[in-house]
Each structure stands twice: as C-alpha cells, then as structure tokens.
C-alpha cells in the first residue's frame, strides 16, 4: 500500500457534471485525484477477508442482542422498540448495505474503527466515480493496463435490489434532500433499484405522511409498502411518527435490526464476545472500568462524521450534538500517515458480501466530514 | 477482476461515460380507446373491452391523487383531471375530496401471450406544457407509441391501490433537517 501522486484528469469536473457528481467540492475539495492509493491484490484480499469475517461476527452480536433486553438497553434502544428490532431479525428482514471503517497500513491486520451499518454515504463516489477514474486513467495510458480496483459495488447493488424483493414493485426512497450528498446517495440507490426492475419514488423524509390508521403514505397518499431511508433509525424512533413504525406495515431498508450494528456500542459488544480478534481493537462501554491507558478514543454511542469524538490524552473532542445516550471507549490505533495524510479504508458490504472500498483521507487523525475521497487501484 | 464489469446510470447524469447494456424489454400493446384496440388487434378482440374495463376499475384505485384540482391540472393539464370516485371519497374520511388525472389510455394485460401481466390504466403528465409519454400508475414511462410497443419490466407490475389520505405529514425529519445524516 502506498500513496502515489498523479496528475488529475484535466476534464474531470466535466466528467463529474455528466455523471451527476455534484458535491465534489462542497466544503472545500472533496474528490481528490492528485493522488491515489496503490494496493497489492494480497492486501485487498486481506481487507476483503476481514470484512467477511466481521460481518459474520456482527450477525452473532445481533443474535445475542435480540435475545437479551439488557444488551438492547446498553445500546440505548428505547424499550418500546425492542420487539420491533427482535422481530425484524427473526423474520430475516433483508439488509442492503453498510461500510466498515478500518485503520490499515498495508502490513498489520486491518482494525475496525466503526461500522456505518444504517446510513453510510460516500457510496456513489466509491461505486461510480472512482471506477470511471480508473477506466479513464487506464484508457489514457496514465495507469498500466491490468490495473484493477476493489469495487464491484454497482453490480452488487443492482443484484441486491433484486434479492431484497420490493412489495408491490414500488419502492420509495427518502432522505434529507436538501443535503446534496444525501440526495445523490438516494438518487444513486434509486437508479440501481430501477435497473433491478422497480418503480422508484424519491422523497424527503419530511414528506412522509401517516393515515388515520397509522400507515405511511407518500405525498399522493399512496401507501409506502417498501421504504429505503437514508435517515438514522435512532432519529426515527425518537420522532413523532416513531410509534407508527411499530405497526410494521411498511418494509424498511435498512431493517430495524441494523440499530444494533449502527451503534458504537457494537464495538464493545464485539470485544466482549470475541476478545483478541485480530481485526478488533479493545473497546468498552464508558464507565465500565475499562483499564485502557491513554491515549484512547471516546466516542458517543450514536454519532456521525467524527462529531464529539475525543482522543483522550491527545486531542480534544470535536464539537457536535451527540453523546446524550452514552459513550464507548476504544484503544487508540493511530492511522497510518502518507505524505502528512491519514487514510481510513471504508470497506463496503452489500447484501452481506464484501463489495469494494473507498478511501477517505484527512490531515487530522480523526476523519470528519471535511475529509477528501481519494481513489485507489490494485497493481501486482 | 475485482471491479464491476459495466456501470450504467439511467437517471443520474448523462450517458456519455456510461457503458450501457441492452435492457430486457417486454412486448406489450398500448391503446387510447377500445375502438383503437379493435382496429389493431387480429387475435382475441374480446381482450380489448375486457382489459379496458379492468384498467378502468384499477384507475379508480391506483391513479395518482391530488388534494386539489389545480395541483392535478398543473401536472396533467387543464381539463385532464376528474374528482375521485364518490365511494372512495367517503372512505378517505377526513372530509377530504381528491382529484386524479383522467385515464388517457391502457396497456393490454397478458399481452402477446405473456401471462401474469395486469392490464393497466395509463396517464400522460405534461412535458413542457403538452401531454408527454404514457405512464403507468406506478409512474413508469412506457413511451408514446400506440399499438405494439416494448416496455421496461417494471411497467407491467400490477399497480398498487391507494391508501387512505394522510392526516398529517412531517413526523420524520426534525433531527436531520438540512444537515444531512449520512456518515
């Protein structure tokens, strides 16, 4: 694994405009092709195997959690929703996708930092735009023929939608449409679902309505039979329509059992059940007499994009709105440094299978929403 | 090879950089009226009326609904909307009347010997001020041609009946407004 400086394609902004990639420079540069990470196939396979192994461990955690209300309590899942989570798991409700974030230096085993199992973004740029980058770089002779990429996301997403089985063939997809990154993520998944044969309707989460009986409907009062939502479960259960979710008349993707996995408490549960696993870092619920020596990382159970994350003994907390539900602590695993940048490997899972990766790097050792997406390729 | 062999985007962006594969198409037939159907169909002329009747019945159940005539006509054109059926108005309760576009055509069911395809009512929302291509109740575009045509697989799925009217909206979204919620 190394970081290679490369000349950006002079016309990449035009390509982005053609491909619907609108947020490549939203808060400063986000898409960054002045460099790329090069991996060997063996390194990629190590990441792939770690992803497969962790996904299997996560299912064991869910299995345990749904059978033990005390565990669901520790994850701050409200009591009234325990049964919903349990039934979504015992009914084998299908899930679509998630992203493991790894600290990986190319030599030691990848270490799990967190699992974005409910509302992961950076999907489109990983699935489509870095793929186009590689094809063009090879086509223009800037990278050798035979270069490859760990990225079967697009094909697997279309296939996964076929397997999800959308009731009534109409799929509603909702998100916070004012946020460009979220809108594009939703639009991209809608595109994949259309290719899988579904009629899709995109909407803002705030446009979801309820009928007198508590069923969800769209702006035209059509029933929402299957809903993909890029909106966190932990928000939904605490908002006005939360109790309508208990009727289970709408199929929701990701399913309710993802509440267990999209919670940083997962890290503590994994370490509790599989201590010493090579892809895990020692992690504990905060206040449990963890015995970690500084520096260690303190993260809210529910937080996104690095908000409220603190490296105790090294770096103060990033501000943010999270933390009310509790914290986990995790042994600090310094990210590797390449030319002053700290990359995090995002390893994607689609329908339970490893599906590709996307690398985000930052000049700070805590990856935030200001990080840049840097493409990767496989050589050798 | 560890990467996708082909990437296609049908809605996001343009096709300039996308390697497009041929999509499976389903052969079917689209008519505006029973008479038009009878003039074109050689075998099974009885299907023309039967499928028109079942599309009409589905129309009442599955047509897009609007709370005002103006909202509906903004999408389908002046004079191309009607009040929802009286029975359903009452059922919707909440004192709500609703409006829906008039049926502009229908797709034959089990077209050309294909089984499991429901007859469907078709609508023509405005495009730049004039009625555009035919669309199913599920809002799938089935093109503008009348007679034999080929459509996307999603066009032949049975349409979904409407639910009761929403009594409120906006019960989700308070915590994520405008900031986005992905990670």
Digit-coded pLDDT (tens) for A206-226: 999 999 999 999 998 899 999
Please answer whether residues A54 and A353 qualify as being in contact, where contact means their C-beta atoms are separated by less than 8 angstroms: no
Q: Å from A272 to nearest chain B CA?
A: 25
| Each residue's pLDDT tens digit, A333-369 | 989 999 999 999 999 999 999 999 999 999 987 766 6
- Contact B172/A41, CB-based, under 8 Å? no
Q: How many CB atoms sit inside 10 A of residue B131's CB?
A: 16
Crossing angle of helices A153-164 and A180-195, rounded to 10°:
70
**A161 vs B: CB within 8 A:** no
Residue A374 pLDDT more than 60?
yes
Q: How many CB atoms sit inside 10 A of residue A319's CB?
A: 7
**A168 vs B: CB within 8 A:** yes
**A378 vs B: CB within 8 A:** yes
- Which residues of chain A make contact with B88, given a CB cutoff of 8 A? none
Least CA distance to B16: which residue of chain A? A18
- Contact A217/B166, CB-based, under 8 Å? yes
- pLDDT reported for residue A17: 87
**B22 vs A: CB within 8 A:** no
Peptide bond connecting A38 to the previous residue in cis, omega within 30 degrees of 0: no
- pLDDT reported for residue A167: 63
**Distance from C-alpha of B56 to C-alpha of B62, rounded to nearest angstrom:** 10
| Each residue's pLDDT tens digit, A294-312 | 999 999 998 776 677 888 8
- pLDDT reported for residue A247: 94
Mean pLDDT calculated for residue range A261-288: 95
Alpha helices in chain B (DSSP H): 34-40, 46-62, 69-76, 86-92
Please answer whether residues A98 and A116 qualify as being in contact, where contact means their C-beta atoms are separated by less than 8 angstroms: yes
Query: Of B181, B182, B180, B173, whose CA–CA distance to A120 is shortest?
Result: B182
**Distance from C-alpha of A111 to C-alpha of A104, rounded to nearest angstrom:** 7
| Each residue's pLDDT tens digit, B94-131 | 445 789 999 999 998 865 455 556 789 999 999 888 99
Facing residue for A205 by CB, picked from B8, B94, B173: B173
């Amino acid at each position: 694994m190394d970081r290679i400086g490369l000349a950006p394609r002079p016309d990449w902004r035009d390509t982005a405009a053609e491909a619907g990639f609108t947020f490549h420079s939203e808060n400063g540069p986000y898409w960054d092709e002045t460099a790329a990470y090069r991996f060997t196939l063996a390194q990629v396979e190590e990441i792939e195997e770690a992803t497969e192994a962790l996904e299997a461990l996560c299912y064991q955690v869910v299995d345990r959690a749904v059978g033990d209300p005390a565990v669901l309590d520790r994850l701050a899942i409200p009591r009234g929703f325990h049964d919903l989570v349990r039934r979504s798991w015992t009914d084998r409700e299908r899930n679509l996708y998630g992203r493991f974030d790894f600290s990986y230096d190319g030599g030691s085993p990848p270490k799990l930092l967190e699992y974005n199992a409910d509302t992961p973004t950076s999907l489109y740029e990983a699935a489509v735009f870095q793929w186009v980058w590689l094809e063009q770089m090879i086509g223009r002779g800037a990278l050798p023929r035979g270069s490859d990429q760990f990225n079967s996301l697009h094909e697997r997403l279309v296939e996964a939608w076929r397997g999800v089985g959308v009731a009534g063939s109409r799929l509603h997809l909702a998100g916070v449409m004012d946020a460009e990154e979220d809108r594009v993520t939703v639009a991209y998944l809608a595109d994949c679902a259309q290719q899988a044969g579904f009629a899709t309707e995109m909407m803002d989460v705030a446009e979801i309505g309820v009928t007198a009986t508590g069923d969800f409907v769209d702006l035209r009062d059509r029933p929402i039979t299957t809903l993909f939502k890029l909106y966190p479960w932990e928000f939904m259960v605490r908002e006005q329509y939360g109790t309508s979710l208990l009727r289970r008349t709408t199929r929701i993707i990701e399913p309710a059992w993802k509440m267990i996995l999209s919670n940083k408490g997962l890290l503590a549960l994994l370490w509790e059940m599989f201590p010493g696993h090579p892809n895990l870092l020692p992690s504990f619920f905060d206040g449990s007499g963890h015995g970690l020596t500084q520096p260690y990382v303190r993260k809210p159970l529910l937080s996104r994009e690095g908000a409220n994350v603190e490296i105790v003994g090294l770096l103060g907390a990033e501000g943010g709105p999270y933390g009310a539900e509790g914290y986990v602590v995790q042994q600090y695993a310094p990210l590797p440094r390449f030319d002053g940048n700290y990359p995090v490997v995002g390893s994607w899972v689609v329908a339970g299978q490893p599906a590709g990766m996307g690398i985000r790097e930052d000049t700070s050792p805590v990856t935030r929403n200001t990080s840049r997406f840097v493409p990767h390729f496989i050589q050798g | 090879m560890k990467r996708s062999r082909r990437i296609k985007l049908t809605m996001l962006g343009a096709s300039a950089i996308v390697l497009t594969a041929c999509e499976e198409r389903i052969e079917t037939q689209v008519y505006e009226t029973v008479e038009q159907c009878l003039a074109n169909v050689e075998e099974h002329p009885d299907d023309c009326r039967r499928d028109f009747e079942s599309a009409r019945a589905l129309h009442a159940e599955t047509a897009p609904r609007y709370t005002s005539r103006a909202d509906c006509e903004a999408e389908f054109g002046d004079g191309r909307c009607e009040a929802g059926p009286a029975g359903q108005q009452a059922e919707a309760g909440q004192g709500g009347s609703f409006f829906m576009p008039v049926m502009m055509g229908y797709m034959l069911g089990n077209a050309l010997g294909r089984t499991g395809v429901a007859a469907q009512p078709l609508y023509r929302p405005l495009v730049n001020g004039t009625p555009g291509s035919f669309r199913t109740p599920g809002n799938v575009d089935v093109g503008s041609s009348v007679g034999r045509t080929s459509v996307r697989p999603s066009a032949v799925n049975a349409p979904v009946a409407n639910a009761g009217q929403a009594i409120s909206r906006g019960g989700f979204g308070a915590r994520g407004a405008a900031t986005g919620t992905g990670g």
